[in-house]
Amino acid sequence: MVSDHMIRASDQDRDVVVTALRDAYTAGRLTLEEFDERMTDAYASRTWGELRKLTQDLPAQPVLGSDLPGRPGHPMPGPVLPAHPPRGNGLLPPSGQRRRRPVPVFPLVALWIVLALATQSAHEAVVPILVLVVVLGFVSLARRR
């Protein structure tokens, strides 16, 4: 049986070790020179044993092989789920998009007809309707913010 320290390291194993080294540097456990040297060695390492030597004097040891099935940190097999499941009952738009509400045209048309009948001229009713549309537009913009 092959010993654990002879197993070939993956890119993810190297990244896990570099993250542990970065955390140790941030905590003040390594100098910048030590961090740089160990990081270079981590990316040049070929086996788990070589990677473990780089972190053996640190209090937190990285978990190697987390990308392998059955190892700690590996996702359990199961159904593939979408990254962002649909919200609610599926009637809502995808996240990041807003569903636009329809413009209430019927009240504006009804008001225009009432004003046109009251003034006996459709042209004289256009100005109040335009003013109302502009005011409603500003109100709706203010609500979105």
Domain boundary among 36, 55, 74: 55
* Residue 134, domain extent: 105-144
With respect to residue 69, please indicate whether it lies within any of the assigned structural domains. Answer: no
Residue that wins the pLDDT comparison between 129 and 97 = 129
Residue type, 57: D
Query: Across residues 27-38, what is the average pLDDT?
Result: 92
Is residue 9 within 8 A of residue 66, CB to CB? The reply is: no
**In whole angstroms, what is the distance from residue 115 CA to residue 108 CA?**
11
- Contacts from 1-5 at CB under 8 Å and sequence distance 24+? 4/48, 4/49, 5/47, 5/48, 5/49, 5/52
Tokens of residue 35, six digits: 């961090």
With respect to residue 109, please indicate whether it lies within any of the assigned structural domains. Answer: yes
Tens digit of each residue's pLDDT (9 = 90 or more) over 36-77:
999 999 999 999 899 999 999 988 888 887 767 666 554 444
